[in-house]
Amino acid sequence: MVNGNLQDSKNRGLISRILIKLRPTPKTAPYYFIGPTFILFLTFMLYPILYSFILSFQKFNAGSYEFVGLKNYFKLINDPVFRKALVNTVIYLIIQVPFMIFLSLITANFLNNKFLKYKKIFKISYFLPAVTSLVAYSLIFKLLLNTDFGFVNYILSFFSIPQIDWLNSPIAAKLSVILAITWRWTGYNMIIMLAGLQNIPKEIYEASDIDGASPIQKFFRITLPMMKPIILFCTITSTIGTFKLFDESYILTGGGPNNATITVVHYLYNNGFRYLKFGYASAMSYLLVLFIVAFSFLQFKFTGGMGDE
Amino acid sequence: MSKVNKTIVYLLVILGAVLSLFPFYVMITSATMESGDIFQLPPKLGFGRNLVENFIDLNENVMINRAIINSFVISVVYTFFSVLLCSMAGYALAKFNFRGKNIMFAIIMGTAMLPFQAMVVPLFNMMNKFGWINSYQAVIFPFLANIFGIFLMRQNIISFPTSVIESARIDGCGEFGIFFKVVAPSVKPAISVLSVYMFMGQWNKFMWPLIILRTRNMYTLPVTLSTLPGVSKMDYGQIMLGAFISVLPILILFLLFQDYFEKGLLGGAVKG
């Protein structure tokens, strides 16, 4: 009995000593705070990213992997669907991104007018698409773009434009995706640009008023140069976003017709999770990374990274 | 500006707002109709009478009730833990100098810059090994540590006076006590911004849940929605109701906390 008690209290002493040792001190505290996050990053990001690299040199065959060298990458370069996906992405980039950035800038300029009332309501209306789930809005656009009964064709019929098969003809389907993305993201970029516009010192505009500058002159000589970093920021984030497009392709057009709207990520998904070509999908993801890292780097360089004070 | 110009600006701004809002209007009215009413020329603009029926059918066809519950549980749990982790990590980066800080920082930065698509295949295999396929934790865990959240919290905590932390230490407050009782309450607005943002991000997430969730009783709302056009006999009234249900919570949050959304968005873009 006595012995047991002694053992017990010894144990208790040990446990409490360990607890005291584990109690964070000013020196050890930061590891407690950042530790869990860091472990999560290592486990669920760093490890998969490195492993993905290794996978990209392998082929998944009958439940096991074999090393195939650069074969996946060579195959990829010659894969007509992958090429198509890349071309689609580039088309979206060249047409959609500049169009949207221009639209956001113009809208932000309008909303920045002093005389405009109900600004908050306008801002909310423009921003609303940006908080909508991509799946939901893709479904809405599917309905709006319906060939026989959709609103878009109905409105166009007033201008005697014949029915357009929005989702089933190669060019119109691309246009549909562009339309949908523009609807979803213009307000988002507009809010960023509006904040930028409000940071331009009013004195500059007042001085130009005295010099008799017209609104258009003011826009090109003052607004545009002052907004350059923000326009750049929006352009680069939109570019990265375009590389990552998936939901619109998957839901709105199903990548079709005949892969006319398929995106790189959609094709990656098909390979990885439909055809179970894990190695091939990994190789694709690494080419994607290459593009995105290049653009992220540009973004980092031009916007000064995370903006340290 | 002349009166004519002002009128033009007003008209354009109103036109833009109408274009932004119109798809929502069509979604909401269509949610109350049956397919026959939706597919009609000229299109009906008013409300129909099929809302309740649509919901009952939707629930029968795709277990929408279950999807709502799944989405809520996953989003709430995710938001709570990710905000907690991001705040703690942001605090460590803002207020401490410790060995390995720069390396940790570099690793976090470097991996976070890469797209999720780059890790999706091994991540899936990993979940498979864990036996986590088709589970809540597989949706929640991999993305708890969020770089945007860490930065947002770091930027907000960095201006918190270090002297207050030190005097709390002298008063005998433990390190966790300092964080939870002194630092965290002072950055409540940032925590709110982050919570709203994280909730929305998780609620709308699609590709990963689509990959990892395998049975209908585990599907989140976006995954359930994505299967709707394929379900036979599915009509567009039900699809639009599903879309509306998936948009509604975010809509409410957005109208209540519009400023938080804006701040969250600008946190990544414009300084200060």
Q: What is the structure's pLDDT at B92?
A: 94
Same domain, A155 and A295: yes
Say yes or no: A26 and A126 in one domain. no
A35, A114: one domain = no
State yes or no: pLDDT of B41 exceeds 80: no
Q: Confirm or reject contact between B151 and chain A (CB < 8 A).
A: yes
H or E segment at B211? helix B207-212
Model confidence at A7, in pLDDT bands (50, 70, 90)? low
pLDDT at residue B272 tops 70? no
Task: Give the pLDDT of residue B72.
Answer: 96
Interface of A with B in 65-104 (CB under 8 A): none
Chain B segment 199-258 residues within 8 A of A by beta carbon are 200, 203-204, 206-207, 211, 221-222, 225-226, 228-229, 236, 239-240, 242-244, 246-247, 250-251, 254-255, 258
Q: What residue ranges define each of the domains in chain B, with the CATH number in brackets?
A: 63-230 (1.10.3720.10)
CB B74 within 8 A of CB B82: no
> Could A139 and B115 be called an inter-chain contact, meaning their C-beta atoms sit closer than 8 Å?
no
Strand spans (E) along chain B: none
Chain B, residues 157-196, CB within 8 A of chain A, namely: 158, 169, 174-176, 179
CB pairs under 8 A between A and B: 291
Residues A207 and B48: their CA atoms lie apart, in Å, by: 57
**pLDDT in the model for residue A4:** 57
- Assess whether the previous peptide bond of A98 is cis (omega < 30° from 0): no
pLDDT category of residue B124 using cuts at 50, 70 and 90: very high
Instruction: Say if residues A49 and B120 touch (Cβ distance below 8 Å).
Output: no
Grade residue A300 by pLDDT with cuts at 50, 70 and 90: low
- Cβ atoms of B5 and A214 closer than 8 Å: no
Residues present in chain B in total: 272
Name the residue among B119, B222, B240 with its Cβ closest to that of A48: B119
CB contacts under 8 A, A 216-235 vs B, are 230, 233-234
Question: Are A113 and A39 members of one domain?
Answer: no
Q: With pLDDT > 90 as the criterion, what percentage of chain A qualifies?
A: 27
Residue A68 inside a domain? The answer is no
Contacts of A55 (CB under 8 A, 6+ apart): A65, A278, A279, A282, B121, B122
pLDDT over 50 (residue A307): no
**Are A135 and A228 part of one and the same domain?**
yes
pLDDT over 90 at A101, yes or no: yes
A205 in contact with chain B, both atoms CB, cutoff 8 A = no
Pair (A29, A114) in one structural domain: no
Of B26, B121, B204, the CB nearest to A134: B204
Q: Is there a single domain that holds both residue A152 and residue A111? A: yes
Single-letter amino acid code for the residue at B139: V
**Residue B45 near chain A (CB below 8 Å):** no
In a domain, residue A104? The reply is yes
Q: For residues A144-165, give the mean pLDDT.
A: 85
Give the minimum alpha-carbon distance from B74 to chain A in angstroms, rounded to a whole number. 16
Do A13 and A45 fall within a single domain? yes
Find the residue in A nearest to B199 (Cα): A131
Clarify whether residues A119 and A262 are in a common domain.
yes
- Mean pLDDT over the full length of chain B: 88
Residues 109-128 of B with CB under 8 A from A: 111-115, 117-126
Q: What is the pLDDT of residue A80?
A: 92
Do the chains contact at B265 and A188, CB–CB below 8 Å?
yes
Is residue A243 assigned to a domain? yes
B15 in contact with A at a CB cutoff of 8 Å? no
pLDDT at A117: 86
Q: Report the pLDDT value the prediction gives residue A257, as an integer from 0 to 100.
A: 87
- B114 contacts A289? CB cut-off 8 A: yes
Q: Are residues A27 and A99 in the same domain?
A: no
Distance from CA of B7 to the nearest CA of A (A): 10
Section A287-291 average pLDDT:
86
pLDDT score, position A303: 59
Does the beta-carbon distance from A125 to B176 stay under 8 Å?
Answer: no
What percent of chain A lies above the pLDDT cut of 70? 94
Q: What is the pLDDT of residues A190-246, one digit of tens each?
A: 998 998 898 888 888 888 888 888 888 888 888 888 888 888 888 888 888 898 899
Tally Cβ neighbours within 10 Å of residue A275.
11
> In this predicted structure, what is the pLDDT of residue A37?
92
Mean pLDDT (whole number) for B117-130: 90
What's the mean pLDDT when you consider all of chain A?
Answer: 85
Distance CA B229, CA A254 (A): 11
Instruction: Compare CB distances from A135 to B21, B93, B226 and report the shortest one's residue.
Output: B226
pTM, two decimals, is 0.88
Label residue A3 by pLDDT band (50, 70, 90): low
B105 touches chain A (CB under 8 A): no
Lowest mean pLDDT among A6-10, A25-29, A220-224, A258-262: A6-10
pLDDT above 90 for A164? no
A81 domain-assigned: yes
Q: What is the mean pLDDT of residues A10-25?
A: 79
Average pLDDT over residues A137-147: 88
Given pLDDT bands bounded at 50, 70 and 90, which one contains residue B270?
Answer: very low
Q: What is the pLDDT of residues B136-194, one digit of tens each?
A: 999 999 999 888 889 889 988 988 999 999 999 999 888 999 999 999 999 988 899 89
- Give yes or no for A155 touching B (CB within 8 A): no
What Rg, from alpha-carbon coordinates, does chain A have? Answer: 27
Question: Which range, of A24-28, A40-44, B101-105, B120-124, averages the lowest pLDDT?
Answer: A24-28
Would you tell me which residues 242-281 of chain A have a C-beta closer than 8 angstroms to some C-beta of chain B?
243-244, 246-247, 250-251, 265, 268-269, 272-273, 278, 281
For A192, the domain range is 74-303
The predicted structure's pLDDT at residue A309 = 29
Q: Residue A305 CB: number of other CB atoms within 10 A?
A: 10
Stronger pLDDT, A17 or A101, i.e. the higher one: A101
Q: How far apart are CA B85 and CA B144, in angstroms?
A: 8
Reported ipTM: the value is: 0.86
B168 Cβ partners below 8 Å, 6+ apart? B177, B178, B182
Residues A255 and A128 occupy one common structural domain: yes
Q: What is the pLDDT of residue B112?
A: 75
Asked if A191 reaches chain B (Cβ–Cβ under 8 Å), the answer is yes
Residue A66 lies in a domain: no
Domains contained in chain A, number: 2
Q: Of the segments A110-114, A148-152, A294-298, B136-140, which one has the largest average pLDDT value?
A: B136-140
Highest mean pLDDT among A94-108, A293-307, B227-241: A94-108
Residue B54 pLDDT more than 50? yes
Report which of B188, B194, B198 is spatially closest to residue B263, judged by C-alpha positions.
B194
Return the percentage of chain B with pLDDT > 70, whole number: 96
Q: Where are the alpha helices (DSSP H) in A132-201?
A: 134-144, 151-158, 170-198
Chain A residues within an 8 Å CB radius of B258: 120, 123-124, 127
Q: What is the pLDDT of residues A28-72, one digit of tens each?
A: 889 999 999 999 999 998 899 898 888 889 887 777 788 888 888
Tell which of B4, B20, B155, B245 to mutate to test the A interface (max A CBs under 10 Å): B20
Same domain, A209 and A276: yes
Q: What is the pLDDT of residue B233?
A: 66
CATH code where residue A210 lies: 1.10.3720.10
Contact B237, B35 (CB under 8 A): yes
The pLDDT assigned to B68 comes to: 95
On whether residue A67 sits in a domain, the answer given is no
- What pLDDT, in 10s, does the model give residues B221-253? 999 999 888 776 668 888 999 999 999 999 998
Across the interface, whether the CB atoms of B240 and A37 are under 8 A apart is answered: no
